[in-house]
Structure 1
Amino acid sequence: MLDNDVVQLKRSKNGAIQRVRVEKESNVIQLAAQLGALYQQAWRKPWTWPPKSRLLSAWKPSKNAGLVSGKCNDPKDWMLPEKYCDTTGVVYASSFSAMDAAVGEVMRFLQSKTVGAADSTGLVTALRNRLVRALPSRKLPNNNNNNNKAAFARLVACARKTELEETKNKPYKIDRKFLFCVLVVGNAELAPLAIAKAIAMAQDMLASRRAQQVVVVAGDNISGETLLPWLGCGFRALGATTTAATVEDAALPFNRRRLGMLLGAGGIGMVLKTELSMVKCQRLLPYPFWVKARLLAVQYGMERHWTANTLVPNS
């Protein structure tokens, strides 16, 4: 994270903005809640952890609600029966959908192009060709010793000139608006309320009789090895994450001792039903069916100043 040159904006009590550069290891994210390796062998390779965690979270609620039998590991026992297809809705919510796979693929491509991934012969050939292209004549000199020395001197001079030109470029600095650039637009504008909005949409579907039951699936994985260096820097630039090195100091309630939130990962799944659908399940299911909660209404809000720091330009 130090390589990304994170700069945090802090507002003083009088409203003045101060730029604080993150330059010490103690000032970067030390802790994050990460997903384990459960069920890793049960999935095919193209699946990354974010969609796995969301789908796994939906299985048990779907079974408890009587939508699937789930008696064994046979995929057929976890398929939605035909009789429920026209009356069941699905709401899928995610703030950073598909980013884990996209960023991971880009990073693998970049790593394949680094010096460490290349063989010595390829590096020597590439360097030779590059220096030759830098020569005015674009040709190698004759095999005369004096000519070779002169050519070598010119190559060294060209290399130094190229090096000086490359050092004029500004070093990489992460855009402090990166977090909002990669957020789903709706979440970036209305705050990260993906789960609350998904439940509200599910309730609207039930109230408008578009469905008799709705499966709500949501989840994200921003603390994995792929996204944490990037999204972690974004949250760090906002000053929203804790830099504590121990769980006892980091996992604190909202009070004056709290330094920020712990980044994590996970998924949730729930099934919302109408009164009529619930009564049918209680009558038809072979096992006891209990109502876990009753949804009366959904209301969510946001702090209107939560993105205030992003209005300040980078320069």
Structure 2
Amino acid sequence: MAIHGGGGKRQAPPVDLCITGAALGLPGVDGVFSDDNVGRMLRGDVFIRPVPEELRRQMVEKNITRLLKTEGGEGRFEYIQSTADVIKLAARSEEFDIVRDFGFPEDRLAALDRVTKLAIGAGIDALRDAGIPLVMRYKTTTKGTKLPDRWVLPDDIRDDTGVLFTSAFPGYDSYAEIMADFYQDRERRNRLAELETLRAGSGAGEALSGELDRRIAALKKEIEEKTYHFDRRFLFRVLSMGHSQFAEYIGARGPNTSTNGACSSGTQALGIASDWIRTGRCRRVIVISADDITSDNLFGWFGSGFLASGSAATGEVVEEEAIPFDRRRHGLIVGMGASALVLESADSARERGIRPICQVLGTVVANSAFHGSRLDVNHIRHVMDKLISQVEAEHGIDRYQIAPETVFVSHETYTPARGGSASAEVFALRHCYGSATDRILIANTKGATGHPMAVGFEDVVSAKILETGIVPPVPNFKEVDPELGYLNLSKGGAYPVRYILRLAAGFGSQISITMMRWVATPDGRRPAPGALGYATRIENAAAWTGWLKRLSGYEAPEVEVVKRTLRVRDQGPTAYRENGNGNGNAQVAAAPVVPAAPAQAAPSAQAAPSALAAPAAPAGDSVRDRVMAIIAEKTGYPTDMLDDDLDLEADLGIDTVKQAEMFAAIRA
């Protein structure tokens, strides 16, 4: 069931929807992605750290006039002249390497923005959690031989798998980096011209002339080492293309687009994905989201933006700044991250023998048409009430009866009380549940992660709360806000939760709400955060094995995890998977050793083959041997798989750009 704008019609016939996979990329975590990320979130780890001094100075340099809001709602302006008055806390990223950690092709890396890389990582992790593996695709060459192409979704599910990418600031990091490189290069050249003019026209003495010569030489060397060259992949890096770039990487050919609902984007995307499946556009959607305005390239700008708006906290003690629902709340803390969900029709999950994590009972995507940054309390409570009423009617539940088993996963950003999210959310809850509101458990993640912008941390955490029965604590709460009254805030740990009500809000009056229900295990027990994964949810082993056989074409398929990617272990080409058709009469070339890290444990998994070293150029002066060595290095195929008559583009996948690079290497 989906609602749009508060006035949409119910879909008929209804399609049961479920979440089968979820993943998180967190700030402050080595590599951003880790198998312990869900556990970190559920136990309430805090990821907020001090902002480096250099980034604080960048905000001061912006000449910010800041809006300050008083408790009474009045405002005044303050000119910022010192790092004492800027943002001092943020949840920032540690090093992230998608090539090292996920095996992403290095030659395609330059076309990706940082946000896209993060979203792709989350999507691969979510597919693994859902138990949806990639398979090695083979292609038939113009000579009739078969060559391994790449790891993609199986043919059976490629056309009915959609991708929805959401980010508030896609491409911005690359754009800022490119602009900075260009203007720094131009500045160096302008300085050089000034110094050379000064040197030529001055009647300076020997000492000054020598100093000018030294500076000119140093600038020339710097220009030579850091010369700016326009990147032909500029458009791919700065456009919002995470949806198409991820789809290309995994071979998903279903519906594909990006959205930007500001800070409601993750939940909004889940609602849109639900509509895609209910209207028959596809059977599953991978919803990927990422943002990072805390990077070295962006923090000075976006930190300044939140600072100028009066919505950012400026203290340096986390326990006094990250205070959701507390009377003292006075400003948000910015963060970063990535998340992904795999949403499927219940029939699709059942065919795979997989028990879903949870059922999506209903979604709403709306806009209050009210204000750029404030929330319309009356409209939000109306939208929430309509969603809950329709879920009650469609699923035969009663909101008051399920209140003790319900967790409200809040948007709360701990911005100033007047016009902030806490008031709107709590008032909506009290309108919808009355006195039963006090029996609903309230959770919040931004007190631990800061505000990750469009990233759907809460949507993933909602699913994992239902899967584990563990609810993260609301941190640093000390003082009750009289306007909000008593709230049943989570203290962390296990709770008897069966339902989730999730609300997200964003700049521009964006509102999105979802309601979910736990899909119970046969024995009613829940796995611990450290024991999650699709293997614990294989409910019909025969259906699971049969599905793997169909999608792989192997009689005895085995799965493996290589560089965080779930795959069906390659056993060579089959007619079933060759070029997506049934041509099984071609001569089969020996398959190369798959470059891979050691495989992690997985059901029926075997260790991945060891990595194949890049071939060195053969000894001797043979032009052919040297050319073959370069082609082997560019394509990854061993030289014994190559043939003089193979077409560079049609057979070996070397497009015109790569051909130009390769010919340049040959000429060199």
SS at 1:51 equivalent: helix
Equivalent residue letter for 2:78: V
Q: Which has the higher strand share?
A: 2
TM alignment of 1:192-231, pairs within 5 A: 192-231=263-302
| 1:113 equivalenced with 2:191 (yes/no) | no
Q: Which moved more, 1:57-66 or 1:218-227?
A: 57-66
Where does residue 484 of structure 2 map in the other structure? none
The question of whether the paired residues in 2 share the 8 Å contact of 1:31 and 1:244 is answered with yes
SS at 2:363 equivalent: coil
Q: Distance in 2 between matches of 1:40 and 1:86?
A: 26
Where does residue 173 of structure 1 map in the other structure? none
Where does residue 196 of structure 2 map in the other structure? 125
**1:125 Cα deviation from its structure 2 partner:** 2.3
Which residue of 333, 356, 360 maps to 1:291?
356
Equivalent residue letter for 2:61: D
What TM-score results when the alignment is normalised by the length of structure 1?
0.68
The question of whether the paired residues in 1 share the 8 Å contact of 2:134 and 2:154 is answered with no
Where does residue 101 of structure 1 map in the other structure? 174
The question of whether the paired residues in 1 share the 8 Å contact of 2:118 and 2:338 is answered with yes
Which residue of 153, 157, 162 maps to 1:89?
162
**1:63 Cα deviation from its structure 2 partner:** 2.2
TM alignment of 1:103-252, pairs within 5 A: 103-114=176-187, 117=188, 122-126=193-197, 187=260, 191-252=262-323
**1:227 Cα deviation from its structure 2 partner:** 0.6
Cα separation, partners in 2 of 1:224 and 1:246, compared to 1, 3 Å: same
Indicate the structure whose relative CO is greater, using CA pairs within 8 Å and at least 6 residues apart.
Answer: 1
The question of whether the paired residues in 2 share the 8 Å contact of 1:244 and 1:259 is answered with no
**1:60 Cα deviation from its structure 2 partner:** 1.8
Where does residue 128 of structure 2 map in the other structure? 63
SS at 1:193 equivalent: helix
Equivalent residue letter for 1:90: V
Which residue of 262, 267, 271 maps to 2:342?
271
Equivalent residue letter for 2:154: P
**1:12 Cα deviation from its structure 2 partner:** 5.6
Equivalent residue letter for 1:307: S
**1:191 Cα deviation from its structure 2 partner:** 4.7
Q: Distance in 2 between matches of 1:302 and 1:26?
A: 37
SS at 1:202 equivalent: helix
CA deviation vs aligned residue, 1:30-81 (integer Å, no higher than 9, x gap): 121111113355353513421111110111211232332489xx9944x212
Q: Distance in 2 between matches of 1:124 and 1:4?
A: 28
Where does residue 117 of structure 2 map in the other structure? 52
Where does residue 87 of structure 2 map in the other structure? 29
Where does residue 67 of structure 2 map in the other structure? 9
Q: Distance in 1 between matches of 2:76 and 2:339?
A: 39
Cα separation, partners in 2 of 1:252 and 1:76, compared to 1, 3 Å: farther
The question of whether the paired residues in 2 share the 8 Å contact of 1:10 and 1:20 is answered with yes
Cα separation, partners in 2 of 1:38 and 1:121, compared to 1, 3 Å: closer
Which residue of 83, 96, 103 maps to 1:38?
96
- Segments of 5+ residues of structure 1 without an aligned counterpart are 130-139, 146-183, 283-288, 311-315
Cα separation, partners in 2 of 1:237 and 1:260, compared to 1, 3 Å: same
SS at 1:240 equivalent: coil
**1:211 Cα deviation from its structure 2 partner:** 0.7
The question of whether the paired residues in 2 share the 8 Å contact of 1:30 and 1:244 is answered with yes
Q: Distance in 1 between matches of 2:304 and 2:191?
A: 34
| 1:18 equivalenced with 2:84 (yes/no) | no
Equivalent residue letter for 2:162: G
The question of whether the paired residues in 1 share the 8 Å contact of 2:98 and 2:121 is answered with no
Cα separation, partners in 2 of 1:223 and 1:5, compared to 1, 3 Å: same
CA deviation vs aligned residue, 1:210-252 (integer Å, no higher than 9, x gap): 1111110011011110111001111111122211213333332
The question of whether the paired residues in 1 share the 8 Å contact of 2:67 and 2:308 is answered with yes
**1:120 Cα deviation from its structure 2 partner:** 7.5
| 1:254 equivalenced with 2:335 (yes/no) | no
Equivalent residue letter for 2:280: R
Cα separation, partners in 2 of 1:64 and 1:244, compared to 1, 3 Å: same
Which residue of 347, 352, 356 maps to 1:281?
352
Equivalent residue letter for 2:357: K
Q: Which moved more, 1:244-253 or 1:259-268?
A: 244-253
% of aligned pairs identical? 24
Where does residue 165 of structure 1 map in the other structure? none
SS at 1:297 equivalent: strand
Q: How many residues align?
A: 247
Q: Distance in 2 between matches of 1:301 and 1:255?
A: 28
The question of whether the paired residues in 1 share the 8 Å contact of 2:288 and 2:339 is answered with yes
Q: Distance in 2 between matches of 1:271 and 1:292?
A: 10
The question of whether the paired residues in 2 share the 8 Å contact of 1:202 and 1:214 is answered with yes
CA deviation vs aligned residue, 1:264-300 (integer Å, no higher than 9, x gap): 1111111000011011111xxxxxx341121111125
Cα separation, partners in 2 of 1:210 and 1:19, compared to 1, 3 Å: same
Q: Distance in 2 between matches of 1:252 and 1:12?
A: 17
SS at 1:299 equivalent: strand
The question of whether the paired residues in 2 share the 8 Å contact of 1:67 and 1:81 is answered with no
**1:104 Cα deviation from its structure 2 partner:** 0.9
Q: Which moved more, 1:20-29 or 1:244-253?
A: 244-253
Q: Which has the higher helix share?
A: 1
Q: Distance in 1 between matches of 2:60 and 2:283?
A: 51
